[in-house]
Amino acid sequence: MRAWLPATREGNMADKPRVELDRSQVKKSVLALQAFIKSKSASGKKLFKDESQMISLLFTLWKIPKEAQTIRIPLPHGQRTDSEDVCLFTRDEPQMTGEQTQRFYKKLLQERGVTNITEIIPFNVLKTEYKPYEAKQRLLGNFNMFLSDDRIRRRLPSHLGKHFYQRKKEPLAVNLQSKHLAEDIQKVVQGTSVRVNNKGSCCMARVGHTGMTADELTDNIEAAVQTVMEKIWMKGAVMKIIHLKSEKSVALPIYNSPLKHLIKPEVTEANNQSAAKETPKDTKQAPAENTKWKAKKRKVEQSDDEEIPQLVPIKKKGKKPKLQRKKTKPADMKHASMVLKMSKKNGRTTKLKKKQNKTAKGAKTK
């Protein structure tokens, strides 16, 4: 099942256009880069005599990948110097302390002929001694590369932290039970890897250092490009531009993709004939649309040709009669006036009643 899954994802090389590098042009770019680095190093001061810079390939893709992927690339020539330090994380052997497990794996590596491992750290020692943040930072700065036993690879991220992965120094898995342990570790250490991210269209792979010859670097570049094109999980046109650069130099282009897949194919005679043959539905709809369009066109032409009569207003002599507006009182004013009238009437009636009462009293007294 494991052998089948990558084949379906990677697809066939027939689905992807080949990236054909011009070896002479690549070698010229390598020589120009080496000359630039030598001129810069001659002007500046070096702390160490064997100080070298990393040379990398910068891949620019046409599209952002849908899935993140890590591609391991075996190189024909080792791309790491002998001065670089490599750390190996191992599992805890049963009924052994941390020092005993270190001795056990050192003896195992010596018997198998592995000489490029600088230090061995068991998993229990990593959990206890390298738990503080400062200890993890020191561990990250002391080594150039990290390897791990494939049996504990899934347990490492929670104990190492995010800084190992941000600096692209996450441990690479190695099978310590393999019969060809020396060859496997040599391939991983001297090989390289590309981390294809699904958040951008650029990725970088280390292919050598300034201490290598131009031919060795050219061989590594060709091998890296071929492996990436075979294993990347994308179809169609994949690679847009490939640059070669060092840590402090300008990126030199060594490959530019042709724009054939962006140009639309020309219409051939067969396409014209197929386009001329319309389906019965299309033939029924086409005359109706044409007749409507022609009728609209005729109306527009007739309206343009005929003169439209203009209406002129008739002026009358004399002044316009003024409109008499009726004075309307609001409802509140009407209500107030009615109240005043009623109060006046009530006042008059009360006065008459008083007079009548007085006259009646005077008559009685008499």
Contact criterion met (CB below 8 Å) for 10 and 232:
yes
Of the candidates 79, 288, 69, the one whose C-alpha atom is nearest the C-alpha of residue 188 is 79
- 348-364 burial, b if ≥16 CB within 10 A, otherwise e? eeeeeeeeeeeeeeeee
Q: What is the pTM of this model?
A: 0.61
One DSSP character per residue, 214-263 reads HHHHHHHHHHHHHHHHHH-S--SS-EEEEEEEETTSPPEEEEE--SGGGS
Range 130-169 burial, b when 16+ CB lie within 10 A, else e: beeeeebeebbeebebbbbbeebbeebeeebeeebeeeeb
Pairwise CA distance, residues 55 & 42, whole Å:
18
Phi-psi region of 345 (alpha: psi -120 to 50; beta: other; left: phi over 0): alpha
What proportions of the chain, in percent to the nearest 5, are helix, strand and coil? Answer: 50, 15, 35
Predicted confidence pLDDT, tens digits, the chain (366 residues): 333 334 345 444 456 667 888 899 999 999 999 898 888 876 655 544 456 788 999 999 999 999 888 888 889 888 887 778 899 999 999 888 889 999 999 999 999 988 889 999 999 999 999 999 999 999 999 998 899 999 998 899 888 888 888 888 889 899 998 888 988 888 888 888 888 988 889 999 999 988 889 999 999 999 999 999 999 988 888 899 999 999 888 899 999 988 776 665 554 555 556 555 554 444 444 455 556 666 666 665 555 444 555 555 666 665 555 555 555 555 555 565 665 666 666 666 566 666 666 666 666 565
Rounded to whole angstroms, the Cα distance separating 113 from 183 reads 9
